Amino acid sequence: MKPKKKKAKPSLLARLFGAKNKAKPAARKSAKDPKTPPKTPLDRSIAEIKTMVRIGENNPARLANILGNLIKAEQAKKAKADEDYQRLIQDILDREQKKQEQPPSGSAGE
């Protein structure tokens, strides 16, 4: 029989303040379980639709409210994007107008 190896005694500081790299019980437990890969955007969309179906079956008014809020949010995003685009176009036109108003500076050597 092989004699059991003694564990190295932690340093004084480690004993006083606790080991920094000591795994927590929950971390050790989860390390044994195989990790599931993160959900893809398609999987998240499917789960969201299933949730909405359940909400619609239980409370159609609540589902209508949720969908109405989603539509309002999308319309607000679209309106802001349109406003930003119009502002960009107006800025470009203003710069072009300022360039045309300024007299061209000719070089003295010509």
Tens of pLDDT, residue by residue over 23-58, are: 555 555 555 667 888 889 999 999 999 999 999 999
CA angle in degrees (0–180, nearest 5) for 77-75-55: 110
The DSSP letter of residue 93 is H
Burial 8-17 (b: 16+ CB within 10 A, else e): eeeeeeeeee
pTM higher than the cut 0.75: no
Q: Which 3 state secondary structure label does DSSP give 100?
A: helix
Token pair in block for residue 105: 């500076």
pLDDT per residue as tens digits for the range 52-110:
999 999 999 999 999 999 999 999 999 999 999 999 999 999 999 999 888 766 555 44
The DSSP letter of residue 106 is -
Query: How far is it, in rounded angstroms, from Cα 94 to Cα 77?
Result: 26
